[in-house]
Amino acid sequence: MVFGIFAALAEFQRELISERTIAGLASARAGGRKGGRLFKMTPTKVRLAKAFMGQPDTKVGDLSKELGVTRQSLYRHVSPQVSYGPMEPN
């Protein structure tokens, strides 16, 4: 019987925490805040990455270390096949 009471109290406490969390997130959204982690690739870093990826002698590993991101994040934001330099005539 004691364990049943403890289980009921634990379940009640869990529901309270869940309700408060949902209410806090809704309040933050109403105040203009978004949840989640910020992106490591800022618009400035994306521009730099595009400029360097347009050069044929750029090493992706070195560029990703310099920008402080992984190779996967770099490829996600900048495609390696696209030339970002000036357009060349055909």
Per residue in 65-82, pLDDT (tens digit) is 999 999 998 888 887 665
Instruction: Return the axis-axis angle of helices 60-67 and 43-53, rounded to nearest 10°.
Output: 160
**Separation of alpha carbons 74 and 65, rounded Å:** 10
Domain extent, residue 64, equals 43-77
Q: What is the pLDDT of residue 85?
A: 52
Task: Tell me which range, 9-18, 30-39, 77-86, is most confidently predicted by mean pLDDT.
Answer: 9-18
The domain tally of the chain equals 2
Residue 82 lies in a domain: no
Give the pTM. Answer: 0.52
Nearest to 77 by CA among 57, 36, 56, 48: 48
What residue type is assigned to position 33 of the chain?
Answer: R
Claim to verify: residue 49 and residue 32 sit in the same structural domain: no
Mean pLDDT, the chain, whole residue set:
86
Residue 90 lies in a domain: no
Q: Quick one: which H or E segment has residue 11?
A: helix 2-30
Q: What is the pLDDT of residue 88?
A: 47
Q: What is the pLDDT of residue 21?
A: 96
Residue 83 lies in a domain: no
Residue 61 lies in a domain: yes
Share of the chain above pLDDT 70, in %: 88
